[in-house]
Amino acid sequence: MPTSEELKEHIASISSTLQQLQSTLNNLNSTSGLLQPANVKDPLLEISKLSSLISAHATKLGLVFKPPIAATTYNTCFQELDSFFKYIKFLISILNQLKNSTESYSNLFINELSYNTASIIESAFYLVEELGKLIDTEDVLKDDKTDERLIGVGIVWEKCENISKNAKIGSSGILRGKLKSSSSLVLDASEELKEWLLDPMVGDAFNLDDFSDNFDGDDDKIQTSNNGDEDESGDEDEDEDVPEAIIKYGETWSPKIQLVKLLLSLLDRSIPASKYTKKFSKNIDLFHEKQLKVNEYVDDLVASIVYDMDLENAKKASDKLTKEINQIFEIVKILNNNDEKKVKWLESWKIKYSN
């Protein structure tokens, strides 16, 4: 029968290995040097199965490590720790298999599953560390470490649910989620431009002068050597008019940016179900790159108008934005094999955007 010290040493060994695996995954390096790739027929199905098994054994660990832990249960604790760790290692091996199948899976998909796996390892490390603190604990009622044990189990459940969900929705489902996030960011930029157009001003777009009024008590601490010359300069900035051309350009692009937000919200209807082929995966990655660029150029456009008052840069950003959108349209057509029923609505959107 193992002793409490042997159980602690076993936990320390597992924790050390988990930490090493986590560090490798977080650095986006391959873990194949630590664990060889698996060779299963349906790796995505296995990921879902393993996430359930890892959750189940996390639950069992929470039960067998309920303090006070009787010496007679140490052997069971060993077994459950080994089973828990075994399935985590198998999950990583399957991830390595996916990473070696780059022609079948998009980078977007692999990166998301890698992040999910790293999160599971992190939560497993937290749980195992907390379990180690419970060995030799006698007073259950006064020891709040018991709660940490249950929290650790819950975190493992959550992370396992995330990877199971992503394995099921595939690269298409993950891309839809990214589009939703980008749509939200474009909405923020759109609202910022709309608010600025209600009262265009130079420089102080965040109304920092109003914010600083709350700190008038600190004004007497600020010493200047120019007898107020800086204040006069500041007044001149406040009186400066926003160029009419900038305002007009903002008014032209405000409704267009709202259309871009609408586009990102609706594009998910034109993303077909996940396929694991080289052509499909390549276009999913291109789609993802382009929609990120759309978000970037919307930000550049709004910043050029609201903060920089730079018409030339605003025009450059809008040209780049339109170019990325047109390229997304082409990718969507390829993904849908030029099925007119699935892409016809894009032409209607394009007409509104061009007007």
Kindly report, residue by residue over 52-73, the tens digit of the pLDDT.
999 999 999 999 999 889 999 9
- Reported confidence tier of residue 222, pLDDT bands at 50, 70, 90: very low
- C-beta of residue 171 within 8 angstroms of C-beta of residue 281: yes
Least confident among 29-43, 225-239, 305-319: 225-239
pLDDT for the residue 6: 96
> What gap in Å lies between CA 350 and CA 68, rounded to an integer?
67
pLDDT digits (tens, 9 = 90+) for 119-165: 999 999 999 999 999 998 765 545 555 588 999 999 999 999 999 99
Whether the predicted pLDDT of 352 surpasses 50? yes
**Which residue spans of the chain are classified as CATH 1.20.1420.10?**
4-169
> Under CATH, which architecture does the 4-169 domain have?
Up-down Bundle (1.20)
Whether the predicted pLDDT of 32 surpasses 90? no
Q: Percent helix, strand and coil across the chain, each rounded to 5? A: 80, 0, 20
How many CB atoms are closer than 10 A to CB 337?
A: 9
- Tokens representing 291? 């929609």
- Tokens representing 20? 């090493």
pLDDT for the residue 225: 45
Whether the predicted pLDDT of 263 surpasses 70? yes
> What gap in Å lies between CA 265 and CA 303, rounded to an integer?
22
How much is the mean pLDDT over the chain?
Answer: 89
